[in-house]
């Protein structure tokens, strides 16, 4: 019995020694685990790897074996890697923030559409993940492409409208030039059986595309002026009256013609009607003709004036050209030093060809030259009265009967009436 108890005691002592050894080993392992856990706990606040949205990843066999035998060094290596990765993340965060600020500045400075500007700026602030940013980018590209297509279509349509307007202006200027070229033809005089032109116009020519480009540049200049501050009032509003006045001036035909001609000068040459009612073969520049005698200058000026007056009248309304005289021009003391037949004849001939009835107010006394060109003359004279401080005005009417009998016999009956009856007498 004693021997059995001794054997049992020995067995129990061996077992106790083994258990103590295992306890020491497990205690040591527990201490390692607790130290590793504490080591990880210190990094949880900075890395948040215990957050509920963090998915645990299983260790592969080599890492699991390494963790089982070298927990502290394994954890140390992992935490060192986390620290290094966090530093990289912080650097990238700063880069992301810098890129966001740059993007916001770009939106503020280059996107004029307020709604699109706000959408782009808010989008990069709200979207956090790379996938969300990528999706936001795709949506923005689609929206920008739609806006760009709309803007391009609008620009294309606006450019078409502008080009149409340019074409209309160009066609109008060609019509103006063609009308100006007709003035010399419509102010010709007849010498014996031949027609002679008094004037010739030298109008600079331009290539169609060059002319249209000059018109386009001019319109862009006008738009630039309208967008400037020169039309702003003190209150900051637009002065519509001033805008309208300036546009009307800028779009006058003479202004547009100067633009297309690039300020080249249109030259006018004229021929002189000589004393024997012939037209000189030599052509004089306008500057040279201005040193002619007073009557000759009056003649060429008045002839050209009637031609221009006819041109303007034709542009304003349809003219009854089948009538011999279908309009009148009233001139206030127009003759000056002009009284010779060779300076008066061309003027009245052109006036008749163009259908003008000339009504002149003049201080000239009755004479042959008035009777030759005016079949009806009204004259007013001051006569003495009983009161020396007062004079009486008398009026007289003189008719060139021979002229009316030869040319307009029906008119002489109406002109021969003594006076027109008052309306309510």
**How many Å from the N-terminal Cα to the C-terminal Cα in the chain?**
178
pLDDT value at position 415? 63
**What's the pLDDT band for 48 if we cut at 50, 70, 90?**
low
**Nearest of 400, 358, 359, 393 to residue 379 by alpha carbon:** 393
Both tokens of residue 67? 């963790």
Q: Kindly state the DSSP code that residue 144 receives in the 8-state scheme.
A: H
Summarised one tens digit per residue, pLDDT across range 348-405 is 889 888 888 888 887 766 556 677 778 888 888 888 888 878 888 888 877 776 777 6
User: What number is the average pLDDT over the span 300-320?
Assistant: 84
- Quickly count: other Cβ atoms within 10 Å of residue 217's Cβ: 11
**Residue 45 CB: number of other CB atoms within 10 A?**
8
> The whole model's pTM is what?
0.62
User: What mean pLDDT is predicted for residues 290-309?
Assistant: 90
Rg of the chain taking only CA atoms, in angstroms? 53
- Count how many Cα atoms sit within 13 Å of the Cα of residue 174 in the half-sphere of its side chain: 11
Which residues make Cβ contacts (< 8 Å) with residue 201, sequence separation at least 6? 180, 181, 183, 184, 266, 267, 268
Q: Which residue has the tokens 């042959």?
A: 368
């Amino acid at each position: 019995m004693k021997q059995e108890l001794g054997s049992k005691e020995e067995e129990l002592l061996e077992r106790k020694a083994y258990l103590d050894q295992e306890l020491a080993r497990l205690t040591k392992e527990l201490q390692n685990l607790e130290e590793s856990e504490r080591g990880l706990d210190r990094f949880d606040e900075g890395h948040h790897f215990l957050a509920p949205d963090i998915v645990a990843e299983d260790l592969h066999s080599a890492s699991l074996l390494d963790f089982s035998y070298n927990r502290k060094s394994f954890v140390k290596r992992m935490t060192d890697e986390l620290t290094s990765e966090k530093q990289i993340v912080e650097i990238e965060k700063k880069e992301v923030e810098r890129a966001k600020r740059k993007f916001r500045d770009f939106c503020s400075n280059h996107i004029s559409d307020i709604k699109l500007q706000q959408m782009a700026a808010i989008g990069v602030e709200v979207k956090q993940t790379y996938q969300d940013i990528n999706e936001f980018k795709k949506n923005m590209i689609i929206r920008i492409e739609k806006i760009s297509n709309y803007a391009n279509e609008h620009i294309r349509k606006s450019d078409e409208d502008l080009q149409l307007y340019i074409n209309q202006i160009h066609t109008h200027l060609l019509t103006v030039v063609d009308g100006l070229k007709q003035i010399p033809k419509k102010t010709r005089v007849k010498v014996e059986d031949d027609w002679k032109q008094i004037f010739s116009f030298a109008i600079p020519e331009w290539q169609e595309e060059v002319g249209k480009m000059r018109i386009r540049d001019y319109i862009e200049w006008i738009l630039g002026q309208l967008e400037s501050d020169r039309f702003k009032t003190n209150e900051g509003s637009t002065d519509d009256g001033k805008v309208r006045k300036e546009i009307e001036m800028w779009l006058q035909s003479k202004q547009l013609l100067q633009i297309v001609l690039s300020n080249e000068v249109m030259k006018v040459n004229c021929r002189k009607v000589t004393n024997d009612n012939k037209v000189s073969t030599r052509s004089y520049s306008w500057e040279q003709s201005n040193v002619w005698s007073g009557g000759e200058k009056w003649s060429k000026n008045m002839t050209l004036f009637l031609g221009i007056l006819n041109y303007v009248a034709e542009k304003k309304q349809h003219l009854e050209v089948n009538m011999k005289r279908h309009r009148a021009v009233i001139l206030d003391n127009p003759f000056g030093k002009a009284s010779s037949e060779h300076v008066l004849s061309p003027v009245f001939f052109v006036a008749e060809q163009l259908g003008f009835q000339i009504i002149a107010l003049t201080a000239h006394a009755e004479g042959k030259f008035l009777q030759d060109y005016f079949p009806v003359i009204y004259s007013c004279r001051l006569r003495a009265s009983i009161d020396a401080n007062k004079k009486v005005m008398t009026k007289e009417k003189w008719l060139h009967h021979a002229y009316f009998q030869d040319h307009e016999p029906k008119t002489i009956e109406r002109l021969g009436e003594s006076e027109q009856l008052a309306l309510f007498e």
